[in-house]
Amino acid sequence: MTKIKLCGLGTIEAIEEVNRLMPDYAGFICSAGFRRSVDEEKLRTLKSALDPRITAVGVFVNEPMDRIVSLLDQGLIDAVQLHGHETDSEIDALKQRRNCMVLKAVKIDSPEAVKRAEQSHSDLVVADGGTGEGKTFDWSLLESLKRPFLLAGGLTPENVREAIGQIHPYGVDTSSGIETGGIKDPVKMRRFVERIREMKYDE
């Protein structure tokens, strides 16, 4: 079964719907300056409401490693997604400090980018079309990627089955694709998850 990550969560209402849907991962934007960013106080509230069976992923953009470690130590996140210019040496250092899953987002816009994704020291690659802008890209580039990855970038209830059928990712990741007017839409969230779980895996 394709893994599911619903990202950019910021309200108790969204968390309640996530708990009903039970995706594998719930993503929280932990770096400041983004529309969906949550501060530590809000993160604490949301994490306390999240079903503990769902892995809470903190998403960071060029954040000091000490802050990431602090949120891990407080139990506010379970896994780390790096979405900036973090190097393999920084990933190694983080994994040495704390035993947690580390995801690394890579903008897939060329065969060279696919090679970078392949060689990343992260536990899991997030193959994105940009830097969180919710844009699709040429999925065929990923056909040569020889490691598990989450597909991100412009995924919606309408196109997620096509994406899975074409490139068979380990998992899929969406944020703007389950929003209406910039707010998480429970109908779109539910439809996104249902579309995946209804799939026959001979498609």
Report the pLDDT value the prediction gives residue 4, as an integer from 0 to 100.
Answer: 98
Judge whether residue 203 has pLDDT over 90: no
Report the pLDDT value the prediction gives residue 135, as an integer from 0 to 100.
Answer: 66
Distance CA 97, CA 197 (A): 36
Q: List domains and CATH numbers for the chain.
A: 3-197 (3.20.20.70)
Q: CB–CB of 50/35 below 8 Å?
A: no
The 10s digit of each residue's pLDDT in 36-78 is 999 999 999 999 999 999 999 999 999 999 999 999 999 999 9
Report the pLDDT value the prediction gives residue 92, as an integer from 0 to 100.
Answer: 97
**Mean pLDDT score of the chain, rounded to an integer?**
94
Residues belonging to the chain: 203
In 3-state terms, what secondary structure has residue 62?
Answer: coil
Q: Which residue, chain included where needed, has tokens 């690659």?
A: 125
Band (pLDDT 50/70/90 cuts) for residue 161 is: very high
Report the pLDDT value the prediction gives residue 66, as an integer from 0 to 100.
Answer: 97
Distance CA 167, CA 198 (A): 17
Report the pLDDT value the prediction gives residue 91, as an integer from 0 to 100.
Answer: 97
The 10s digit of each residue's pLDDT in 74-133 is 999 999 999 999 999 999 999 999 999 999 999 999 999 999 999 999 999 999 986 555
Residue 154: which region, alpha, beta or left (left: phi > 0; alpha: psi -120 to 50)?
left
